[in-house]
Amino acid sequence: MRPIDLARVALLVLITNGLVHAHHGYSDFFDPKERTVMVEGTLEHLVFANPHVVMKIRTADATVYELTWQSPNTMNRGGVTVSTLALGDVLTVVGAPPRDPRSHEITRLCEVKRARDGWTWRTAQPFAPPTR
């Protein structure tokens, strides 16, 4: 292999390794079978796109949480579409909290409940009872 090709391969390995770690890096979060948290807030931001549905909610004390759900394909198969939730909806969310208590990210969502009509999405996987 020529030196330039070897350099390109090495660069590609470094770049993709970082992307894979960033995309599937759940080690900074608790396993939802061991610990979950519940947060209630108003939906301010929703991105229904690959690789994951991402939401931001603002709680009553003005804390903003970033929530990472499953992929849009998985959500669609489960009956959740881009129009299921709307900005301004008040949601109660249960998911895996970060190990860093200063972080306001929640991932591996287990339950999402809309206050106005009681609509609820719930994972089929078992999860620990939430704390607030």
- How many other C-beta atoms lie within 10 A of the C-beta of residue 103? 13
Domains present along the chain, CATH in parentheses: 29-131 (2.40.50.1010)
User: According to the model, what pLDDT value does residue 25 have?
Assistant: 74
Q: pLDDT per position in the chain (132 positions), as tens?
A: 566 655 565 444 444 444 343 455 789 999 999 999 999 999 999 999 999 999 999 999 999 999 999 999 999 999 999 999 999 999 999 999 999 999 999 999 999 999 999 999 999 999 999 987
User: According to the model, what pLDDT value does residue 26 have?
Assistant: 84
Does pTM surpass 0.95?
no
User: According to the model, what pLDDT value does residue 122 have?
Assistant: 97
User: According to the model, what pLDDT value does residue 132 have?
Assistant: 78
Report the C-alpha gap between 96 and 30 in whole angstroms. Answer: 6
